[in-house]
Amino acid sequence: MRQRTTLAALALFAALFVASSLMSDFFKVTQVTLPDGSRAWRWLISAGMPRLGEYIEMTLPTLRWQSFLSDLAEWFWRWDIWLRLLVETILIAFMATTLGVIGGFLLSFPASRNLAPNRWVLWISRRYLEIARTVPELVWALIFVFCFGVGPMAGVLAIGLHACGALGKLYSEVNENIDMRPLDGVKAAGGSWFDQIRYGAVPQVLPNIISYTLLRFEGNVRSSSIIGYVGAGGLGQEFRTAMSLQDYTDLSALFLILFVTVAVIDWGSEKVRHRFIEKENHR
């Protein structure tokens, strides 16, 4: 029986892989122009990889050792504007993460099967979280730009709402794996539903909540740099300007700034996460 199930699962996976590959033109063959001017049939991926190399080459600046500082200054010629927008991007991500954590944390308990006071509260909470995380952040950003105009507020609300749905889902899954005995003890002592959550559930889930929150903040920094593309503040508007004007070296400078920022945030988050986990283990 187990062997049949395994074979059936492998067959289903193979069928889905083939179907998705065909739908995404993974095996598509196209005509390309060779260096001698002749035309030939090539696999789409092998034909497109050289163009990817050409694009990356266009984004690389010219850096000479004898004029390194001046070349570097020319590469980051808008550093003051980019730095201001980078700070705005980080603040958008921080505010959005804060709103997402508050909403996701509060809704995660009624959205947990083992903690919801009744099935209607469970159903409503889960549907809200599903809607919040199903709609892409860019779509939320377009909606909020229409409502509140161009600026950081639209970005904060878009990322915060999406983060609320995603974190609420993660938090609720953590809640459903807790030990229910502490909650039963609080209930036996006459505690309300809120008392059971406060004293029985929250202490158990807090380490995982902090870990997921730090991970989400890192992702929100990347998201806040993207939604600016539709006018929701942050570095995204500079990406859009650079792509529109075909300033390819500006794109590489912006990418490098964002890469270093995310790497530093990831390093700091990991340190905080490990330190908090160590403290919890020593208790």
Give the contacts of 153 (CB within 8 A, at least 6 positions apart).
144, 233
Question: For residue 8, is it within any domain?
Answer: no
Question: For residue 202, is it within any domain?
Answer: yes
d(CA 155, CA 230) in angstroms, rounded, equals: 9
Give 160's strand partners: none
Question: For residue 66, is it within any domain?
Answer: no
Question: For residue 249, is it within any domain?
Answer: yes
Question: For residue 74, is it within any domain?
Answer: no
At 222-236, the pLDDT tens digits run 888 888 777 777 787
CB of 39 closer than 8 Å to CB of 31:
yes
Question: For residue 156, is it within any domain?
Answer: yes
Domain interval for residue 175: 81-282
Question: For residue 34, is it within any domain?
Answer: no
Q: What's the structural domain count of the chain?
A: 1
Q: How sure is the predictor about 278, in pLDDT bands with cuts at 50, 70 and 90?
A: low
Helix axes 248-282, 44-59, angle to 10 degrees: 90
Question: For residue 30, is it within any domain?
Answer: no
Give the contacts of 261 (CB within 8 A, at least 6 positions apart).
86, 89, 90, 221
Residue type, 244: S
Q: Tokens at residue 226, please?
A: 């993207």
Domain CATH number, residue 234: 1.10.3720.10
Rounded to 10 degrees, the C-alpha dihedral 225/227/232/237 comes to 60
At 107-141, the pLDDT tens digits run 999 999 888 888 999 999 999 999 999 998 888 98
Residue with tokens 């859009």: 240
At 134-187, the pLDDT tens digits run 998 888 988 998 888 888 888 899 999 999 999 999 999 999 888 888 888 888
